[in-house]
Amino acid sequence: MSPLLTEEELAYQLNDSGAKIMIIIDPEVDDRQVATTMERFLAVIKNDKGTVDTVDVWGRRRLAYEINHKWEGIYVGLEIATEATNLDDVERMLEALQALGVRWTRKGESLDYVVEGAGGPFPVKTAELFLGNAGTAFRPLTAALALSGGDYRLSGVARMHERPIGDLVEALRQLGADITCTLNEGFPPLHVKPARIRAGGVVQVRGDVSSQFLTALLMALLERFRVLVWAGGALLGWVAGDIMATDPFLATIFSENTRPALHDWGGPVGGLIVVGIGYFMVRRHRRLYLDEVMAGLGLVVWIVVDRFSDAVFGGATPSLGTIWAIRGALIVAMAIIYTISRKRWHVERQKA
């Protein structure tokens, strides 16, 4: 019986990692024949000017997904050294980015690349992308293209068309994406069509099949809704500021009369610092988008209203119910304003 991975697909794996690879052998192969079966695969590595450092037979393990109608395989791990210089996933991703209008440059003869980015959705709205067996390029591109408002077709080698992507596709469909599996439902190739992506709600995606499904979904959503990134950064800065304000070392520096103010303003100042540094870093490469500016303005409004409510309803016997009611109303108001701004002025695409 032949292994589940062919010599041609092993060549893809060599280009894909160049250090550690995993061979999966058909479970019907007798354990005593594993060494013999591996010989021709080791020959592929040697013919590619590589050397095999270690061979680690893991034994029979359950597959993450069905391959050739089998749910089990004999896993053999290899550590190799190879002169292969073309990383297939990287190469396929670079080809796709170029086809989508994203510029990149290579640093000399090294494997370092500088991607300039598009500052938003992909400029090219119609493309056919061949991604070989590069799963780590296929999955994030599927999510990014689904949110780019264009007409795209994604395909790969025969093995790529056997690798499931249904959970990611279904999660994107929950957001309003229009994606068709053109051969078999839940598997590539895919046809991604323009669609209106809905903001808000709950999206369910399995994480036990491939963590890259969840990664691709989050990457695409955070690019489409940048305000979430800035709000998250402000929240982290706020929490860090609060923690630093209670640091015992600072208590030895500031007077007892100053400490209450330090505690009150540690969080807000921390949030402003993180957002300010973020603005500075982004402005070194491009102009800010309006939704990014709105995130900063929202933080300032939150601080002003929060300080005002604490001053009026705080004190020795604070009215916590009233304070939190004001905070809740402010969150709802800002969410409504942002939603209206996205629909009317497309603030996620407009540069400030």
- List 151's β-bridge partners, or say none: 126
| Percent of the chain whose predicted confidence (pLDDT) is above 90 | 18
Task: Please write the tens of the pLDDT for every residue from 285-308.
Answer: 778 888 888 889 999 999 999 888
Q: How far apart are CA 287 and CA 284, in angstroms?
A: 8
Average pLDDT, stretch 204-225? 66
Percent of the chain with pLDDT over 70: 80
Q: Evaluate if pTM is beyond 0.85.
A: no
Least confident of 28-37, 150-159, 167-176, 181-190: 28-37
Closest CA to 140 of 62, 202, 218: 218
* Residue where the block lists tokens 């296929």: 138
Helices 211-224 and 166-174, axial angle in degrees (round to 10): 30
Q: CA-to-CA distance for 247 and 245, rounded, in angstroms?
A: 6
Instruction: State the pLDDT at residue 6.
Output: 46
The better pLDDT of the pair 15, 175 is held by 175
DSSP code of residue 351:
B
Q: What is the DSSP string of 270-339?
A: HHHHHHHHHHHHHHTTSPPBHHHHHHHHHHHHHHHHHHHHHHHH-SSS--HHHHHHHHHHHHHHHHHHHH
Neighbours of 125 (CB within 10 A): 14
Tokens of 297: 């303005």
In three-state secondary structure terms, 57 is: strand
Residue 102 CB contacts under 8 Å (≥ 6 apart), including other chains: 115, 116, 117, 118, 122, 123
| Position 206 confidence tier, pLDDT thresholds 50, 70, 90 | low
**pLDDT single digits (tens) 102-123:** 888 888 877 788 888 776 678 8
Task: Let me know how long the chain is.
Answer: 352
pLDDT tens, position by position, 4-13: 444 444 444 4
Identity of the highest mean pLDDT range in 4-8, 182-186, 222-226: 182-186
Confidence (pLDDT) at 11:
44
229-241 tens-digit pLDDT = 888 889 888 888 8
As a whole number, mean pLDDT of residues 321-344 equals 88
Please give the residue that has the higher pLDDT: either 44 or 181: 181
Enumerate the H helices of the chain as residue ranges: 7-16, 34-47, 88-99, 135-146, 166-174, 211-224, 226-245, 248-253, 259-283, 290-313, 320-345
With H, G, I as helix, E, B as strand and everything else as coil, classify residue 205.
coil
> Using 50, 70 and 90 to split pLDDT, how confident is the model at 40?
confident
pLDDT score at 285: 75
